[in-house]
Amino acid sequence: MRIAKTNIPDLLTIEPNIYEDGRGYFFESYSASKLNEQGGDITFVQDNESKSSYGVIRGLHYQLSPYAQTKLVRVISGKILDVVVDIRQGSPTFGKHISIELSSENKMQLLVPKGFAHGFSVLSETTIVLYKCDNYYNPASERGICYNDPALGIDWRIEPDKAIVSSKDKVYPALANAEMNFIYGNTH
């Protein structure tokens, strides 16, 4: 398992060592000890799975502290563009985002810490996404940022007329007006 930093501190990519033979393949998809060496002491308490079709854009979502969630995201089937935005006040990368393609073929994973908004677009006919969370879902603390906020400049790689976005995600505020309570260096 190779764990690497991205160009935004605290966001990590995880690439498994895949062992293939005539029967198929095997890989270690999660190791608490290896991840904790790189990203702090994380205890996951909930797994979530979603299935979506081509053109779906989900996000950008987060939960306010103390209900914020660290997520470990991977794709079981299909392909997504995973997008993460730094929303930690005082961060040198505040408002910046990264986009990384996660697929069942590349088996890459992304660790999304607390203090980041998360979303993805579906680039294949259908996709199944699995993500581990270190805190439970709390509807009262759920917040979001509008996926097409021009200040973020995110290329979701979906033509606007093919985008499928929930009514909730369409009305989230721009980053400049979003409610957040994350302070850089103090999001755990």
Average pLDDT score over residue span 114-134: 97
Average pLDDT score over residue span 70-83: 97
The Cα 78–Cα 130 span in angstroms is 12
Structure tokens at 12: 């990590």
Q: What sign has the CA pseudo-torsion 154, 160, 164, 170?
A: positive
Domain boundaries, the chain: 40-177
Q: How confident is the model at residue 34 (pLDDT cuts 50, 70, 90)?
A: confident
Q: How confident is the model at residue 33 (pLDDT cuts 50, 70, 90)?
A: confident
Q: Is-catalytic flag, 61? A: yes
Q: For the chain, give the percent of residues with pLDDT over 70.
A: 98
Out of 62, 97, 118, 131, pick the active-site residue.
131
Q: How confident is the model at residue 39 (pLDDT cuts 50, 70, 90)?
A: low
Residue predicted with more confidence, 187 or 69: 69
The Cα 166–Cα 168 span in angstroms is 5
1-15 pLDDT, tens digit each:
888 889 997 888 889
Give the pLDDT score at 30.
84
Kindly report the CATH class assigned to 40-177: mainly beta
The rounded Cα 124 to chain-centroid distance in angstroms is 17
Structure tokens at 102: 């996660």
Instruction: Say which amino acid occupies 58.
Output: R
Q: Is-catalytic flag, 188? A: no
Q: Which of 28-32, 36-40, 115-119 has the lowest mean pLDDT?
A: 36-40
Give the pLDDT score at 28.
85
Average pLDDT score over residue span 32-49: 85
pTM for this one? 0.92
The Cα 86–Cα 156 span in angstroms is 17
Average pLDDT score over residue span 92-96: 96
